[in-house]
Chains A and B, each alone.
Chain A
Amino acid sequence: MKSKLACAVLMAPFFLLLVTVFLVPTGTAIWLSFFAQDQPGLGFGPESTVFVGLRSYVAVLSDPTFRGGLLTVVLYCLIYIPLMVAGALTLALLLDSGVAKLRSWAQMSLYLPHAVPGIIAALIWLYLYTPGLSPIIDLFAKGDIHVNFLGLNTVLPSIVNIALWSNLGYNMVIFYAALQAVPREVLEASVVDGAGPVKQALRIKTPLVRGAIFTVGIFTLIWALQLFTEPVLLSQSTPMISARFSPSMYIYDAAFTRNNYGLAAAASVILLAFTVALSYAVTRWTNRKAA
């Protein structure tokens, strides 16, 4: 089609948003990370903004609480992502095997948590982790098992559980849709070749839905690195989650509790670089394996 004007009109609203709520803020974050507000000697007079170069970056990277947060989120990803992908794929393969009963009911039920807002999912589970409120803890207590879901070593798995609960069904539906698109001739051929149902699922179907596994993996990774909602809510009830538990919480704390914009901006840029680098690495790795 020819009309450039029409094309511009159709794209204008989106690109206006792209500039104002994405490009300018990203640029501002990078800009801010090189500056600091210096208070004059006795705290009198106006604040001045001075160029400090990489000082904020050094401050963030040498801050043990930031490094601890980064480590926490990496650990979280290492537990959460494999469980999520394997769990969702297994359920999708089971539903696709044709043996499972009440398939569409099962899908609806599994998908249900995705309609529950993140903060409310965290609320429900927080109450299920709270002694006195939780039927789970009562049940365990009857068997003389005493667990503290919000203890030092259990709090991260507890957060993983909330994320898993929220997203398992959503990703299962994506895998299921991809499995449905696998050509039936390929499956029939594998049966003729003597592949049993388990072998068929692992050797034939799974490699054919690589694309979906990659999509789910990368989106789960990007989301997981932003970890904020669940720990912030749980931190209201447990001392095991500090105000700087994850990089996103560190940024919030630096910007809005300590009012140190330079520090918050530097931490933001580091989180962004970390996200881009990891996504790039995963993409490269996947492409190489596919080639």
Chain B
Amino acid sequence: MTLLGRTTVNVVVGVAVLYTLLPVLWLVLAATKDVDALFNSDLFGDFAFVENVKNLFAMDKGLYGRWYVNSILYAVIGAATSAFISIAAGYAFDKYSFRHKEKLFGLVLAAVMVPQTVLALPLYLMASGTGLVNTFWAVFIPALFNPFGVYLGRIFSQGYVPDEVLEAARIDGAGDLGTYFKVALRMLGPGMVTLFLFQLTTIWNNFFLPMVMLSDQLLYPVSLGLYQWNSSATVSPEYYPVVIMGSLFAVLPLILAFMLLQRFWRAGMTAGAVK
């Protein structure tokens, strides 16, 4: 390729990288500044990072810490449970045959299409009827449902679990469920990590459902809490540095998870796109 071509390619990619990185960099810089510096145009103000962190966790009697723990509980336990449930169903769709199987699978795929906002009001009414509204479970249970995970689970099962291995296990006298838990699940491990990561992101991002279900601030996840603090900031600006620092902290766990588990999400995204 010509020198001009090479330069153009690298400039375009470079500009795109700046576009994605600079806002995050701004967040990091803004988190180090105090209120006055924040509202001045100078890029580097007085270094107030430590003070901002202290303020964040002290604000409103330490609500942020509570929200953070809530988010971790919703996301980590929810994603692990969801991955376990989805992959079992995906495996069953792959390895068993029964009547109307493909129709049922079509229903699962159709569920991917349905907007969350459509389900919110009925879910709220159901939660009210059963007394679950404004509890941990009202946010936790609906987030376990991941139809796209079942679709991916089926693909992983096709790819990672050869039928011969299952046949061999049966000849050895293992029952179907025993085979699944002792043999197949181990082979599905990487797929499960992928589903875990996807659902972790989804639940950590979850905003609409908690907004509908929760009125008790102590049950809020970080997303909803920061939303509320931001609306306070429009009236009392002392909330701005706390919202900025809170946002920075809320971004860290997912970045960490993606860096540590990089190869798994790549595998999952490839499977989803190519098939």
Contact = CB atoms under 8 A, between A and B. Distances in A.
A14 B38 contact: no
A128 B247 CA distance: 14
Contacts, number: 263
Give the residue among A28, A113, A124, A173 with the most B Cβ atoms within 10 A.
A124
Contact of A215 (B24, B205, B272): B272
Contact of A117 (B204, B234, B258): B204
A116 B166 CA distance: 41
Nearest to B19: A165
B215 to A, nearest CB: 11
A211 B224 CA distance: 36
Given A17-B144, A177-B274, A119 B227 contact: yes
Identify whether the interface residues of B are mostly helix, strand, loop, or mixed: helix
Contacts of A168: 16, 20
Given A21-B142, A29-B118, A268-B121, A113 B24 contact: yes
Given A17-B144, A120-B250, A132-B39, A177 B273 contact: yes
A226 B116 contact: yes
Contacts of A6: 96, 175-177, 180
Interface string B85-128: 11011011101101000000001100111111111111111100
Given A10-B180, A21-B145, A123-B230, A112 B24 contact: yes
A4 B117 contact: no
A216 B272 CA distance: 10
A251 B43 CA distance: 41
B204 A110 contact: no
A132 B41 CA distance: 7
A247 B117 CA distance: 9
Interface string B116-153: 11111111111000000000000001101101001000
Contact of B122 (A26, A175, A247): A26
B218 interface: no
A174 interface: yes
Contact of B118 (A116, A119, A175, A268): A268
A100 B5 contact: no
A153 interface: no
A156 interface: no
A178 interface: yes
Contacts of A264: 121
Interface string A187-211: 0000000000100000000000001
Interface stretch (B6-14, B47-55, B62-70): B6-14
Contacts of A119: 205, 207, 223-224, 226-227
Contact of A229 (B85, B208, B254): B208
A166 to B, nearest CB: 9
Contacts of A232: 227
Interface stretch (A41-49, A57-65, A270-278): A270-278
Interface of B: 1, 5-6, 9-10, 12-13, 16-17, 19-21, 23-24, 26-27, 30, 38-39, 41, 43, 85-86, 88-89, 91-93, 95-96, 98, 107-108, 111-126, 141-142, 144-145, 147, 150, 166, 170, 175-177, 180, 201, 204-205, 207-208, 212, 222-224, 226-227, 230-231, 234, 240, 243-244, 247, 250-251, 254-255, 257-258, 266, 269-270, 272-274
Given A1-B96, A237-B234, 10 more contacts: A3-B177, A6-B175, A11-B92, A91-B16, A99-B1, A117-B250, A119-B226, A119-B227, A174-B273, A256-B212
15 contacts: A4-B96, A7-B176, A11-B89, A17-B144, A26-B119, A28-B122, A106-B13, A116-B251, A117-B207, A125-B23, A168-B16, A173-B266, A174-B269, A215-B272, A228-B208
